[in-house]
Every structure is written in C-alpha cells, then in structure tokens.
Amino acid sequence: MHAIQQQYWAVRDYLSPVLKESKFKEHGRITPEEFVAAGDFLSYKFPVWTWEKGDASKARDYLPIDKQYLVTRGVPCLRRATSLAYTDADEDAERLLSFGDSSGAADEWVETHAGRKPTLDSANTPGEIDDMPDLDGEHELASAMGNVSITSTAGATISETPDLDDIPDMEEEDLEDGEDEATAAPKPSVHSSGGVIDASQIDVANGNLLQVRTYDVMITYDKYYQTPRIWLIGYDENRTPLTPPQIFQDVSADHALKTVTIEAFPHSATLQAASVHPCKHASVMKKVIERMNAGVVEEQLAARKKEGKEGKKKWGFGRKSAAKDDKSAGDEDEVEGMRVDFYLVVFLKFIASIVPTIEVDSTTAF
C-alpha cells in the first residue's frame, strides 16, 4: 500500500504545473526562483547550510543543476521530545511564587512541575553540595594554625633547600632508560581492514558523558504544494543511522506518524528519510508572514519618516511642490515590506516547533 502511495505522489508531482507568479504574501507559496533566492540568502547568512545537486537522474529541470536542495549536517539533538511533554497531572502541577522586596512591590512567577520528584544524582543531574562550616571566632583559627608544624614524616624538621648543583642529572644517572613498573601498558589498537576503527570497539560511557544524537537536515522544493519541504536523517553517538521509531522519539507527539513519516528522498534513488508533510505549510507560512510583514512595514515607514525629517532639517525648508508631496505620500504606501529572501529563515522557525529538540533553527539571533 505504501509503495502504491509513493507512486501516486510521484505521478502527481510530475503532472503538477510549475508556479510562475509570486504568491508568498497572499498564499504562503513560492516559485522555484524564489526558493533559490531564499536558499542563497540562507546559505550566505548562515554558512552551515549548503547547496547540493543530488543524483543527476533525479534532478528537477525547474531548479539549477547545482542547487537542487539545501543541506546542513551534524545538527545536535540533546534530548528526546518526550522529555518536553507537559501534562496536568499532580506531579506536573503549577504554583504561584511571590518575591517581594523592601519597597513592598512583589514579582509573581509561575513554577511548573512543582510536584515532580527529583531524580537520583548523576552527571546530568548533580546533587547539592553542603556548605563547608566556618570556624567560630578568630581565636579558634589562631589555635588551629598554631598546631601546624613543618616537619617530615619521621618527625625531624625539614632542612634547608639543597643546592641545585647537588641534584643529579637524569641523563647522567641513566634514569630515562629504565621502564617504570607503575606505568600502565598501552591498549592494543584494533583497526578494521580499511584502517578505520570499528564502531563496535568503542566503549560508550553512560554515566558521565552526554550521548548526543545528530541529524542531517535537507530542504527541498515541493512542486505540488509549492512550498519547501524538510527531511531528516538521524545518527546516534557512534554515527549509526537511527531507526524510524528512534527518529519519532525526537518529533513532537502531535506530529509523529501523522505529518512526519518515512519516505523516499526525491533527490536520491536509494535514500529513505523522515519528512514533514507539506500539506499545511502554505497556510501556516501565510499567517506567520502576515504577522511579520506588518511589523516590517511599520519599521520601514518609521525609518522613511525619520529620513524625511532629517532632510528638511538639513536644507532648512520643506519642498513646495504639491506633485512631489503626493509622490512622497505614494512612496510611503508602497513600502517593500518583508522580502521573499527571508522565507526560509521563517520556515525554519516553524519547523522548530515540530522537532523541538533538534536544533534545526540556526537563525535564532537573526
């Protein structure tokens, strides 16, 4: 059944027309040219993203040969998405905390997971260290220091520092040639036939090291839905590919096995990857772009008005031509707003809500 569905999607994508008119503000969809422009901006501002051409037999003719899809490798995933799950059970109850100061004003904060029991001490959750007791009074400190004497283990007072000439040289006494019995013998190195260490020979510490999963993240263009599409390939700490159930552990419970499924990667003949289905991408991106575009337009209008005031102050008089005033008012109504170059930057912030523990959004400070 899944194979038949894959064939149906391939035929549907092949027969779909290529979008020619820009509609990213009206409908949240972009053209292939706009996808390339947004990808160029993303790879320029954030070099962790690079263009790939993929298999030549799977190349899309509506995209440049060397810009078929974007990829970033080694994206860390420090914990599972299930650790972020929040319930209204008693152990996850909330309580209101009030912190007052001398002026009488109080700040109120909400403490979540108030009833959750603490876990055992480990490297990831270290326990509290008790404060060291202080000596009560200066007389106790003085008496304690008075009992300290600089003597050797035999009880004799340590003599003066010997002359450096009396210390024997290591080369003269042949001290470097002998083998120390306390030195640990080196472990024999185990290599495979290709000179690469076998992953099975690597000992993984469970207590004091954080085992980090990594992901290769790809962004392709979906011609049918006319939006970008995200793809994920996961690896464990030994670079062993993750199984589908393991990948779904890093996906939000609202999307695992629903909008996130394992499908064939469109630019490879053999690769299977987890993909976020793009059926809702256009509607979600439209709402996000509308909100962001309103703020961008407001900032551009404020900047334009500020430039106009500075120009009048510079020349000491305003423009008298009514035609020029009408032109200036028309320019204020025709501000550019949010450019399509920022599309993928906004898109990654949307994807971060689906895979919250995979750090796909490297544009948080942008």
The pLDDT of residue 120 is 42
pLDDT tens readout for residues 166-220:
666 655 555 555 566 666 666 555 554 544 445 455 444 455 566 789 999 999 9
Q: How would DSSP label each residue in 268-321?
A: -SS-EEEEE-GGGHHHHHHHHHHHHHHHHHHHHHHHHHHHHHHHHHHHSS----
25 vs 222: CA distance, rounded Å: 18
Q: Which of 78, 279, 294, 303 is catalytic?
A: 279
Catalytic (active site) residue 77 = no
Spans in the chain with pLDDT lower than 50: 90, 118-124, 127, 129, 192, 194-197, 199, 202-205, 315, 317-324, 326-332
Running DSSP on this structure, what letter comes out for residue 343? H
Running DSSP on this structure, what letter comes out for residue 350? H
266 vs 273: CA distance, rounded Å: 10
The pLDDT of residue 186 is 64
